Amino acid sequence: MSHDHDHETNFGSATSPLAARVRAMEALLIEKGLVTEAEIQDNVAYMDSRSPVNGARLVARAWADEGFRARLLSDGKAAAIELGIDAVASPELVVVENTPDVHNLIVCTLCSCYPRNVLGRPPDWYKSFEYRSRAVREPRAVMREFGFEPPGDTRVAVHDSTADVRYMVLPIRPPGTGGLDESELADLVTRDCLIGVDVPRAPSAAQA
């Protein structure tokens, strides 16, 4: 199973009616001359350039460079800018590190606050009421539905994003990856790992 597709099992799709309204609003704005189709497409292209690939790059650099890891955990926004990621206008970015003792899970219980400048648009399931309510009440059950559950003696810490503070997970580096370069390490990090519903797999496990 790919862990980057929209997870439909229990969380469903919440954006189809919204997408239709957005298209209608775009058509109205163009008709009134307030915006052009080219301007809309430029903005879409910019949004698409912000993706989980950026978060994966941050994780891979942190795995490979202890100094960068410390800076990422101290000031996630500054570390993202250091790596050339456009996060100047982003709210505060707090990066929480998984350890053998603690596994972190990110949610926004009120709406869909998400580090878009670093990770792009949130998946539909992240915005669904089902995920927003269950991630707090039963985080292990939610992660289990994504095919992952931390060991029983690992504490699960749930972080609630806000308009002012966004969160991203720094996963544990998988064993057996000592010979990989940063690009290869980044390939192991999916969007779901950065939210905390999954973890990176070693290359052999990822291909299984």
Q: Where are the alpha helices (DSSP H) in the chain?
A: 16-31, 37-49, 52-64, 66-74, 76-82, 116-119, 124-127, 129-137, 139-145, 182-186, 191-195, 203-207
Q: Measuring CA to CA, how many Å separate 120 from each of 40, 50, 53, 85, 159?
A: 17, 4, 9, 11, 19
Is 108 noted as a catalytic residue in this protein? yes
The radius of gyration computed from the CA coordinates of the chain, to the nearest angstrom, equals 18
Q: Is 193 a catalytic residue?
A: no
Q: Please check whether residue 90 is in contact with residue 118, taking contact to mean a CB–CB distance below 8 angstroms.
A: yes
- The answer to whether 112 is a known catalytic residue is yes
- Which member of 113, 128, 161, 193 is catalytic? 113
State the Cα–Cα distance between residues 39 and 164, nearest whole angstrom.
28
Q: Which of 49, 74, 111, 183 is catalytic?
A: 111
Is-catalytic flag, 113?
yes
Give CA 22 to chain center in angstroms.
23
Task: Choose, from 108, 128, 161, 193, the residue flagged as catalytic.
Answer: 108
Distance from chain centroid for Cα 171: 12
- Separation between Cα atoms, residue 137 and residue 158, nearest integer Å: 10
Catalytic residue, chosen from 13, 51, 74, 112, is 112
Please identify every residue annotated as catalytic.
Answer: 108, 111-113
